Amino acid sequence: MNDYTIRLLIPFASIISFIMVFFSIPTILRVARQKNLFDEPGKRTVHKVRIPTLGGLAIFIGFLFTYSLFVDWFEFTKIPFLIPAILIIFGIGIKDDILVTAPIVKLMGQIIAALIIVGMGDLRITDLHGFFGLDINYLASVVITVFLMVFIINGFNLIDGVDGLAAITGIITILAFGIWFYLNGNYHIPIMSAALVGGLLAFLYYNVFSKRQKIFMGDTGSLLLGFLLAVVAIHFSEFTILNKYPGHSFVMNSGPAVALAILIVPIIDTTRVFFLRISQGKSPFSADKNHIHHRMLALGFTHVQTSLILGVINIAFIILGYSLRNLGVLKLTFLIFILGMIVAYIPSLFLLWKRRGIVKRLQAINKEENR
């Protein structure tokens, strides 16, 4: 196929994925209601009514069908290993949405899926882009890549706590990666991006705007989303190595730091909550309401407002990363990370001031009543 034909396939991939997800969700909802497959409200959740959690099933079907149909199987040699890995992620996700899966089982499934694409598919970080002047051997390359993939997967799983957040973050991040690949004449990732974006847009309609047919993506969707974004981020980090892939139309220096900027929302939120949990003597995988989106809800923002604000912040970091790509990987990494942590703690500071203000007002009322 010539470049013009491939470019036409990109919007078609998005449209077909959208149609498949949009029309499959009502059927999934009927099955979920008949089989009583709901996410029950509780201390860990922010919703007040029972909601089906099988939206990820629709996203999986729409993405896998469209991706398999439109992608050039001979161009991207990782496909024979990518699809089995996706099936493992789907398996542990759908089991957790229907039954209860132990955290260790989910973690082992993620590691196995990562090892398939990293070890057998050879999709791994081979160059640290001069980070501290370090070089890595094969074993270190595999370990670092698997760790980063599992971290990103769990990052998307953890931010899926309010309506639209995981989907909007997924759309923004995959587009940021996909556009760069498109500008450099690599059409595999843009087609993958289009298939994923189409499905996520269809899911957003039911998750955010529909009142009678509301659905969550569940672990099936968030784990799949995190896995695909991890794969693309690793590929992006490797594809930006100029010595290995020369002749880019849009040169990307400091690739890993720019990838951090693109994935800032799940990475910073996960880093923050893991640090808080460990500092409190808890397991980093224990559930709580210390996420950024929980803080914003406590400040009075709605689900949609929270998702849109974090989406805008995500876009701002992407623009910053792209603009400062020539700064150097070490400097840009520290800059992005420090700014990300500062932004992540702003809702907590506002919430602290708000609570102090309420306490002061209550104390003033008590003084007036005691006079």
Average pLDDT per block of 10 residues along the chain, 371 residues long: 72 95 95 82 61 92 92 68 94 90 90 94 84 78 95 94 94 96 88 95 94 91 96 92 79 89 96 88 78 91 94 97 91 95 92 76 63 58
Q: What are phi and psi of 136, to 5 degrees?
A: -125, 145
6, part of any domain: no
16, part of any domain: no
SS3 assignment, position 163: coil
pLDDT of residue 212: 87
pLDDT of residue 50: 78
Beta bridge partners of 254: none
Region of 122 (left: φ > 0; alpha: ψ -120 to 50; beta: rest) is left
100, part of any domain: yes
pLDDT of residue 92: 95
pLDDT of residue 328: 86
Contacts of 15 (CB under 8 A, 6+ apart): 198
pLDDT of residue 91: 95
The model's pTM is 0.91
pLDDT of residue 47: 53
Q: Residue 27's domain spans which residues?
A: 22-370
Number of compact structural domains in the chain: 1
194 and 10 Cβ atoms separated by less than 8 Å: yes
pLDDT of residue 278: 86
pLDDT of residue 73: 63
238, part of any domain: yes
Helix extents (H) in 240-328: 255-262, 264-279, 292-298, 303-323
14, part of any domain: no
2, part of any domain: no
pLDDT of residue 26: 95
7, part of any domain: no
pLDDT of residue 132: 60
pLDDT of residue 346: 92
32, part of any domain: yes
